[in-house]
Amino acid sequence: MDSLQPNLSATPAVLTVELDMRAVAAGARPPAPLSPNKAEKMAHAIAADLEKSWARNSANTA
């Protein structure tokens, strides 16, 4: 997989996970952090979705 930013060794990002308050009160924990490889795969998927959304919105406003 090609890196989105090959000249950088790391790109910080945040993914927010919302937990049900009842589950938190019962001791639920958030998921473990992703490995760099899995995080990059997720970043590519999110970028592709954003590009599709941008293209749809651009077509609707043209």
Break the chain into its structural domains and give their ranges. 1-62
pTM over 0.75? The answer is no
pLDDT single digits (tens) 26-44: 998 877 888 888 888 888 8
Cα distances (Å, whole numbers) of residue 34 to 2, 14, 24, 26, 56 = 18, 11, 21, 24, 30
Task: Note whether 43 and 3 are within 8 A (CB).
Answer: no
pLDDT at 62: 65
pLDDT at 5: 57
